[in-house]
A and B are shown apart, each in its own frame.
Chain A
Amino acid sequence: MKIKADTTVCIGAGMCVLTAPEVFDQSEDDGTVVLLQPSPPADQEAAARRAVGLCPSGALSVVP
């Protein structure tokens, strides 16, 4: 599984970091999403998927 993040639409709400802290971080400057693990390991996949579903701005997607 691969995750894509579009920082131009991210609103820095932090839901991703709260949900899957090993996969996502937020930039110190503008709070937008930073992908720590674009291809999350198997044990992080479920949390990463939940984060994609919770993201309020539609910045995150799962690449098939």
Chain B
Amino acid sequence: MNLFKKKQYVPITGSREGAPVVPDGLWLKCPSCRKAIYQKELGEFKVCPNCSGYFRLSARERLALVADEGTFEETDSGMASKNPADYPGYEEKLRKTSEAAGSNEAVICGFCEVCGNKTALAVMDSHFIMGSMGSVVGEKLTRLFEKAVEKRSPVIVFSASGGARMQEGIISLMQMAKVSAAVKKHSDAGLFYISALTDPTTGGVSASFAALGDVILAEPGALIGFAGRRVIEQTMKQKLPDGFQTAEFIMDHGFIDKIAERAEMKDTIGALLALHRGSCDGAA
């Protein structure tokens, strides 16, 4: 569940809940320096030309930066949420979000090659109900890890999530257990898992599969943490230290292996996959 709204992706015109893909010619406010940036200046990595801060990527944009061109085969693309907890207005929210985001859920899963290495790949999308994990996200990820065991394939997961999906209630909480158990199965089969944390990775996602990679990478400046800043400020009754819950803070405290710039993320993953080729028969 997301309690933070620190960095928001704010189109200057159009709706706040707008799609990540914006029409040409739109100006966007940088989430880091707040300067208005002409969107064509951002380039494929979506880096602010003024402050080098990152704009959030949609799952499709991320996929294009990571998977070798033309190699991605999506799995479970037709899976969609129901309303298991009869949460008022949830179907409507799902419908509107799907239309705006151009995808039917907060994660895209599949198999592809990265720098010529075969791998399973999941990419979350913070534009879809804050990338929250409900039944569909949990099921798609679980199936991906299970299929990866069958194919003896490594798995890469790009997290971008505010946590568990409130609207599906306790069943969302149970997804944390379900996916974590699937990660363990994959690990016990001797297979390699890279968890790549992007802005934001918080709540129930930070407390399940995102924290369980053999190698954990992160993008610079990404918000990573379990509890919401406002909740912590309330309970501690003190201001939070500078840089609290950033990728750099989390690395200083020993919870991630490496911070990789967006432009070097693919090569970093490619190098790690190559180092594990022998352990994953299906990845030759």
Same complex for A and B? Answer no
Interface residues of A (CB under 8 A from B): none
Interface residues of B (CB under 8 A from A): none
